[in-house]
């Protein structure tokens, strides 16, 4: 027994015979698509774009160059863009965004500090947030929400938090170095003050007030006056202590210079991200339009109704052959 088969003429004849059923199914599919679009809650998508600046341009070695300056690009490279992408997908950044945007008032899942509610807020943010790089080496952040103003607010807040976090990554190290140097300056101040008191006592004790430190370059010592027992020892003691104090004073001035450089390099006036397109509340919802949904629904209804009619006819003929 051979299985029934259809040629093109028979297929057209079968479809024309059942055209009422096909039209009915197609109309029902279009109606279901329209009802779905009317019932479905609209979502709005807002986007913001920004460039990543090169962090090395604000480094102290660039600001206070002591040798020939090499070319440093204003725009960040692929490594910097990768860092932004990693930060954008980190829990730390996402947590700051949902808290700054008051997700508990937008989605009303409960207390933000509750572990279960917090996990729901984080999951909602991850599902609706998107960060991607383009071929022009800028980054696009987008967020989808039920209200246009919420979508724009979250997208703009994302850029702000990313800039603050990316900036802190570099400035925190510079601030740590500046604090370490500042602590060292305080220690030097204490040591210099102690050595100054010691030198003053020794000079008064031995009556030696000449400049006799060998570390004072280009300074000619005056005629040494005085004498007596212990005078030579006093000269040696003063000379040794003065050499130490001079070196500490030189180190202190160098540390203060470095402290000023690190403080300038970690200032808040330099931007690490440059916003080029601010997110605005969208005027139309995201996703396919009503017309597109109706067309797709009608085509799907037409296709499946024809398949259904042909299958019914196939099984009818197969049953007749048994």
Please check the confidence at residue 199 and state whether its pLDDT lies above 50. yes
Model pLDDT, residue 156 = 96
Examine the pLDDT at 204 and tell me if it is beyond 70.
yes
Select the more confidently predicted residue: 205 or 229. 205
What is the distance of C-alpha 287 from the center of its chain? 27
Q: Are strands 44-52 and 273-277 parallel, antiparallel or unpaired?
A: antiparallel
- Look at residues 45, 71, 72, 76 and name the one whose alpha carbon lies nearest to residue 138: 76
Which of the residue ranges 53-67, 178-192, 271-285 would you say has the lowest mean pLDDT? 53-67
pLDDT at 172 exceeding the cut of 80: yes
What radius of gyration do the chain's Cα atoms show? 39
Identify the band that residue 152 occupies on the pLDDT scale cut at 50, 70 and 90: very high
End-to-end CA distance of the chain: 9
Q: Output the pTM of the full model.
A: 0.72
Bridge partners, residue 45, by sequence = 144
CB contact at 8 A, 197 and 241: no
Q: What percent of the chain has pLDDT over 70?
A: 89
pLDDT (mean) for 281-306: 87
Provide the pLDDT for residue 62.
Answer: 73
pLDDT number for residue 7: 75
What's the Cα-to-Cα distance from 212 to each of 52, 194, 195, rounded to whole Å? 57, 19, 15
- In DSSP terms, 273 is beta-bridged to 52
Measure Cα distances from 85 to 78, 90, 130, 289 in Å. 10, 9, 10, 31
Residue 220 predicted with pLDDT over 50:
no
* Range from 129-143, 172-186, 280-294 that averages highest in pLDDT: 129-143
Instruction: Answer with the residue of higher pLDDT: 94 or 172.
Output: 94
Asked if 112 contacts 103 with a C-beta cutoff of 8 angstroms, the reply is yes
Residue 168: the pLDDT is 87
Query: What is the pLDDT confidence band of residue 322, given thresholds at 50, 70 and 90?
Result: low
């Amino acid at each position: 027994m051979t299985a029934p088969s259809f040629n093109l003429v028979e297929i057209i004849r079968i479809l024309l015979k059942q055209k009422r059923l096909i039209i009915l199914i197609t109309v029902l599919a279009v109606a279901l698509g329209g009802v779905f679009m009317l019932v479905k809650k609209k979502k709005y998508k807002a986007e913001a774009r920004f460039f990543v600046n090169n962090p090395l341009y604000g480094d102290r070695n660039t600001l206070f160059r002591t040798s020939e300056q090499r070319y440093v690009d204003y725009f960040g490279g692929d490594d910097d863009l990768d860092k932004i992408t990693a930060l954008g997908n980190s829990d730390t950044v996402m947590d700051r965004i949902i808290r700054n945007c008051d997700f508990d008032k937008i989605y009303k899942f409960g207390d933000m500090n509750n572990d279960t509610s917090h996990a729901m807020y984080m999951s909602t943010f991850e599902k609706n947030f998107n960060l991607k790089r383009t071929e022009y080496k800028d980054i696009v952040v987008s967020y989808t929400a039920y209200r246009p103003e919420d979508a724009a607010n979250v997208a703009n807040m994302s850029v702000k938090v990313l800039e603050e976090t990316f900036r802190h990554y570099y400035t925190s190290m510079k601030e740590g170095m500046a604090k370490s140097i500042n602590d060292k300056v305080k220690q030097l101040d204490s040591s210099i003050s102690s050595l100054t008191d010691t030198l003053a006592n020794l000079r008064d004790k031995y009556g030696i007030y000449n400049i006799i430190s060998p570390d004072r370059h280009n300074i000619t010592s005056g005629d040494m006056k005085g004498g007596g027992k212990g005078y030579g020892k006093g000269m040696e003691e003063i000379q040794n202590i003065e050499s130490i104090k001079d070196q500490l004073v030189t180190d202190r001035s160098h540390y203060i210079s470095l402290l000023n450089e690190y403080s300038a390099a970690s200032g808040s006036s330099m931007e690490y991200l440059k916003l080029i397109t601010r997110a605005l509340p969208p005027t139309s919802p995201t996703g396919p339009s009503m017309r597109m949904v109706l067309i797709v629904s009608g085509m799907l209804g037409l296709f499946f109704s024809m398949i259904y009619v042909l299958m019914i006819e196939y099984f009818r003929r197969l049953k007749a052959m048994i």
